[in-house]
């Protein structure tokens, strides 16, 4: 599938700077792929949130051990 795409100069300059060694076409295809994946993930997480409950989350948290985190997990 082919599209004629008009890109504003300010985006074109930024794409040229960010795209590295790939073609502008490949950069745009990769960017579209990332955006689609992001939107699908948001939809998935919103659906999971609708099915969740505070009571269930608190029950799970109450089962967590009361111990100090591993050194690698500390901020």
d(CA 67, CA 33): 41
pLDDT truncated to tens, each residue of the chain (75 aa)? 888 989 999 998 899 999 999 999 999 999 999 999 999 999 999 999 999 999 999 999 999 988 998 999 988
pLDDT at 57: 92
State what percent of residues in the chain have pLDDT above 70. 100
pTM greater than 0.75: no
Map out the domains of the chain as residue ranges: 23-62
The pLDDT of residue 3 is: 84
Q: CA 51 to CA 66: how far, in whole Å?
A: 28
């Amino acid at each position: 599938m082919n599209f004629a795409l008009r890109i504003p100069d300010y985006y074109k300059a930024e794409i040229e700077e960010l795209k590295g060694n790939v073609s502008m076409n490949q950069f745009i295809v990769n960017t579209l792929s990332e955006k689609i994946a992001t939107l699908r993930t948001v939809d998935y997480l919103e659906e999971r949130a609708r099915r969740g409950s505070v009571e269930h989350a608190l029950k799970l948290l109450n089962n967590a051990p009361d111990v100090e985190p591993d050194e690698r997990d500390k901020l």
